[in-house]
Amino acid sequence: MGWVEKLLSIDRRIIFLLVGAGVIVPLLLPVNLPVTVTPRVQAAYDAIDALPPGSRVLISMDYEPEIMAELMPMSIAVLRHCFRKHIQVVAMTLYPAGTGLGEHALDVASRAEGAVRNRDFVWLGYKSGFQVVMIGIGENLRGMYPVDFYGTPLDSIPMMRGVNTYAQLSMMINLSGSSAADYWIQFAQGRYHAPIVLGCTAVMATDYYPYLSSRQVLGLIGGMKGAAEYERLIDVFGDGRRGMDAQSLVHLIVVLLVVVGNAALFATRGGPGAPAARPGEAPPR
């Protein structure tokens, strides 16, 4: 067996080790690679930054632990920006397993910026039924949430005075890893004309570009890269920027693997017209 064949049948555990090292080393030894802010994230930042102090925004953190690596840094960065600007936050989630995550994000951001529960933010927790909740907020928020997550009646929370529909909220910010974002656009923006800023996973981001160009969404924060860009805008070195070092290295490893795999195949088969390698031809050991 020549070196090319050996390369093509490389033990997949070596690839796993490479990827593992690519993730762990930059997290332990961050190099703080440069992060360029894209127009979409800048637009999201500008939309929030333009709100006057004392404005109230609704933030729905609609995600569960499997995608928290992407959306948690984004949530913390957006919340910190709001608290720093003295924008009051009404936070909620449409996912049962998102309750702990939303509470954690609020806890981290409020500690960092000195925000106080019920004065600077309210945590409404989880409520089931996507469209029902979205329309419910549009008609009567208190009908949907008579009390907050901790059982405090909304009427007794000073910052909730006079807030009962989207009309009293300056903006809706959805940080989502699912189709919840589609519903927020359809109902909160489409029906109730609430200005929307969206944050989502990198995989989902391209689905929302049409809404951005039609101005139905004011800004879009996509994946960990988007979170890193937002952290740069608010001048914070958080998990987003830390994670981008690891993500950069892993992307580079994957690209090198693809290039090496193709080069080795060309060397054995003689070019692009040759039959494709199938998993059975180079079985993992």
Site for other proteins in 193-222 (CB under 8 A): 202, 206-207, 209-210, 213
Q: Which stretch binds other proteins (CB under 8 A): 43-51, 54-62, 114-122, 243-251?
A: 243-251
Question: What is the CA angle 66-18-225, rounded to 5?
Answer: 45
User: Of the ranges 82-90, 109-117, 136-144, 153-161, which one interacts with other proteins (CB under 8 A)?
Assistant: 136-144
Smallest separation (angstroms) from other proteins to the CB of 56: 22
Q: Which is nearer to other proteins, 202 or 234 (CB)?
A: 202
CB of 89 to other proteins, least distance (A): 18
* Smallest distance, other proteins to C-beta of residue 190, A: 9
Cα(225)–Cα(41) distance, rounded to whole angstroms?
A: 10
Distance in angstroms (rounded) separating the CA atoms of residues 233 and 40: 13
Kindly identify the residues of this chain, within the stretch 48-107, that bind other proteins according to CB under 8 A. 64-69, 97, 99-101, 103
Measured between alpha carbons, how far is 143 from 154 in angstroms, rounded to an integer? Answer: 11
What's the closest the beta carbon of residue 82 comes to other proteins, in angstroms? 21
Residue type, 221: I
Query: Could you give the string, one character per residue 245-264, with x where binding to other proteins holds by CB under 8 A and - elsewhere?
Result: x-xxxxxxxxx-xxxxxx--
Q: By CB under 8 A, which span of 9-17, 53-61, 85-93, 113-121 interacts with other proteins?
A: 9-17
**16-55: contacts with other proteins (CB under 8 A):** 16, 18-20, 23, 33-36, 38-39
CA distance 146 to 140: 10
Residues 151-190 that bind other proteins (CB under 8 A): none
Q: How far is the CB of 248 from other proteins (least distance, A)?
A: 4
Residues 6+ apart with CB under 8 A from 58: 90, 91, 92, 137, 166, 169, 171, 172, 173, 194
Per-residue DSSP letter, 127? -
CB-CB contact of 284 with 12 (8 Å): yes
Amino acid at residue number 104: H
CB atoms within 10 A of CB 212: 18
Candidate list 136, 195, 199, 238; residue touching other proteins; CB under 8 A: 136
- Give min distance, CB of 245 to other proteins, in A: 7
Among 105, 204, 228, 233, binds other proteins (CB under 8 A): 228
Whole-angstrom distance, CA of residue 171 vs CA of residue 176? 16
State which residue, 15 or 157, has the beta carbon closest to other proteins.
15
Q: What is the side-by-side strand order in the sheet with 219-222?
A: 121-126, 88-93, 56-62, 171-176, 196-200, 219-222
**Residue closer to other proteins (CB basis): 30 or 55:** 30
Contact range with other proteins by CB under 8 A, out of 74-82, 114-122, 155-163, 270-278: 270-278
Minimum distance between the CB of residue 23 and other proteins, rounded to whole angstroms? 7
- Among residues 111 and 278, whose Cβ is nearest to other proteins? 278
Nearest to 173 by CA among 53, 280, 75, 239: 75
Q: Which tokens is 281 given? A: 């031809």
